[in-house]
Amino acid sequence: MKVIVEDLARECLDDRFYYNAQYSAKNAIDTDIMITQYIQDLEDSPHIGRYIPEIADNRFREIIYRKTRESGYRIMYFISEKRNTIFVFNIINSKQDFIRILKLHNYFNNYFNI
């Protein structure tokens, strides 16, 4: 399947990188490489992620990248069988309130016709 990283996910990845780089450039680079690798793995294994618990549609999935027990990132994506494409739409810190983010960004409507 083809993988498309949406603008919001790219922005989140960039923001996360610059935030982590303030404390450790090596950690920022290593985390960036691992998250990018997880996204690339979706090409061959799109169903590897679990269903997103906050969304009642099984086409929305996520892979959890854990840096430590206390720190992790949710790589959220949508599988469009119709277009044979995976859309990575968000990458958030696992400590963030996803319901609040869901209310702020009404970007899910874009995926229901795909």
Range of the domain at 52: 2-108
pLDDT tens for 43-101 read 999 999 999 988 888 999 999 998 777 778 999 999 999 999 999 999 998 888 887 77
Token pair for 90: 């968000």
Position 55 in a domain: yes
Question: CATH no. for residue 63?
Answer: 3.30.2310.20
Position 101 in a domain: yes
Position 98 in a domain: yes
- The number of domains in the chain is 1
Confidence of residue 33 (pLDDT cuts 50, 70, 90): very high
pTM higher than the cut 0.85: yes
Residue 21 has, within 13 A of its CA and on its CB side, a CA count of 8
Position 113 in a domain: no
